[in-house]
Amino acid sequence: MQTRLSEVDASGRGKPDVFRTYDADGRMVKSVYEDSPSRGITETLTIDEAKGQWTRRFTVGHTLIRQEIEQYGNSERLVSRESVWSSNKDGRLDRRLVETYPGPDTDTREFALEGGKWVEKRHDRKLTVYFGPAKSPGAQYADCLKDAGKVKGGSVTECGKFLDQLIDISKTDYTAYTNLKCDDPKGKQVFLPEGFRIDTDSCGSDPFVQAQLASAVKQLQADMKCIGGINPEVQKQLAKKVAERRPRINCLNGVQTAADSPLGKRLCDELAPHAVGSGGCLQKVQGLMDPKTGAFFHPATPNDVYLVMSDPKVQLKRIEQDARIEADHKIDKENIFNPAERDKVYDEILAKKKQSALAYPNESLAGTMFHEFLHLAGIPHNDKEVQCGPVKKPQHNCYLGGAYQQDAVYGCHSMCGGTNATSHWTKEGCLACVAWHNPTGDKSKCDKSLKTF
C-alpha cells in the first residue's frame, strides 16, 4: 500500500498528515500520523530493526501522553511490551503496564506512580502468545523484490519508492497501488499488489486457492472504500495498519489433524514452544482457535489473520467432491471404462466448476476477512466477559442472543462486509462504527436497519 511520496494527505483535509523517514537502504524507520483535529493526537512509530524494537509515542502538541515499546526476539516472537501513559493526559506519566511472554503465557504487571515510586496494582498470568516481526514486513518485501531480480542494480534502495507509505485515500479512494506482486519462497509467502500477504506454508500453491484469496483481497478493497463513506477514521486506521503490517493470510483448515504438517510445526514452534510432544502442542494450538468459526484474529499475532472454515481449501474440497459425484454419474451412464477417459471426464467437470466459482468476486470470504482486519486495525469490540452457556466468554464471541453484534467491529462489518454481513446489523453496532474517533459522524446512517433491504 504505497505512494511515491513521503508526505501524504491520508484524510483528505487538504494538507499532509502522514510523514515517513527512510534509511540509506530505502526502508522505513519512522512514521508519523497526525490524528483528526477533534482529538489532536499525533502518533509516531519508530522501527529499530537492529535492536528489534518498535516504539510508539502519542503526543498532544508537545506533550507526551503515552509511549509503547515492543521488544522482539528470534522467530518473530514478541518478548515484551512496556506501556506508560498519563491517566489525565497532562504529561505526567503515572501509569505503567509491563507484559512479558514466557512460553505460551502472558505475564502482566500494572503499576501506578505514587510518591515518586512505581507501586504494583495488578499481577496476572494467562494463556496467550504474542509474536510479531523480527524483521519488518516492509523489509521482507524489499528482500523478496531483490531476490526476484525486480530491483534495479540489485540494491534495495529503490524499494523505498514502493515501501511503507500510506496511500492518498482522498485521490484514489483506496483502489490503486504501486506495489509489485512478489513470490517469496524463502519466507513461504506471496506479497500481493494490494499490500497483503498469503502464507503459502498453510494456504499452499494450488492455483484455485490462490485465485480465491486474490479475488477476496480485491473485493476487500471495495469494502474498505465503502467504510470511508461511513467513517473515514476507520478507513484511515485500516489503511495505516495494512501499510505497517502487510497482513498475512493463513489457511488453517486441516491443521487439527496434522500436527506434523509444516503448518502444524510452525504453530507449535511459535504458539506452544513448551508443550510436551506433538499431541500436547496440538492441543494448545487448537485451544487458540475455534474450529466452528469462519476466521479469527488473535492479538497475539499482530500481523496475521487465520481462516478456518472460510479457508478456500474447504471450498476446493467441496468442489472436488461434487465433481467426483457428477463424473461418476456420467461415467456410469455412458459406460466409460477406459481409465484415461474416466480421468478426463472428472478433470473437465472439475475445471468447469472451478471456473464457475471464480467467475465472480469472492464477496463472502472478503466480508469475513474484512471483519478480522477490523480487529487487526484495533477497531474496538465488546470484550466484557459474560456467562455464555456453561462458560464465560467475551461478549463479542458469545453467540447466544444478539448482543454480540452491538459493537463497532460488527457495526462496520454489517454495513460494508457484503450481502451476508447485513444479517449482523444492529443500531448499537452501527452507531459505534459511525462514532469511532468521529464525533461529528452522520448518525442518521443508522436510522434504517440494513436487514430490511
Max CA distance (Å), the chain: 90
Spell out the domain ranges in the chain: 380-453
Q: What is the pTM of this model?
A: 0.69
d(CA 57, CA 350): 54
Q: What is the pLDDT of residues 371-426, one digit of tens each?
A: 989 988 888 888 788 888 888 877 887 777 778 888 899 999 999 998 888 888 99
In angstroms, the CA 453 to CA 4 distance is 41
- C-beta of residue 44 within 8 angstroms of C-beta of residue 93: no
Tracing cell 493526559 back to the chain, one arrives at 89
C-alpha to C-alpha distance for 224 and 255, rounded to whole angstroms: 30
H helix or E strand, kind and range, residue 283:
helix 277-287
| Helix axes 363-376 and 408-416, enclosed angle (nearest 10) | 150
Of 162, 331, 323, which Cα lies nearest the Cα of 243? 162
The string of pLDDT tens digits covering residues 52-78 is 888 988 888 888 888 999 887 655 567
What are the Cα distances from residue 274, in Å, to 104, 248, 289? 7, 25, 18
Spell out the per-residue pLDDT of the chain, length 453, in tens. Answer: 333 346 655 555 666 667 767 666 666 677 777 765 556 788 888 888 778 888 988 888 888 888 999 887 655 567 788 999 988 878 889 999 998 876 556 788 999 999 999 999 999 876 543 333 345 666 677 777 777 776 655 455 445 444 443 344 444 444 344 467 888 888 889 988 888 999 998 898 899 999 999 999 989 888 988 999 999 989 888 887 887 778 899 888 766 545 566 667 777 766 665 665 666 766 766 666 665 678 887 666 678 888 888 899 989 999 999 999 999 999 999 999 999 999 999 999 999 999 999 998 888 899 989 998 998 888 888 878 888 888 887 788 777 777 888 889 999 999 999 888 888 899 999 999 999 989 889 999 998 765 443
**Backbone φ, ψ for residue 36 (5° rounding):** -65, 150
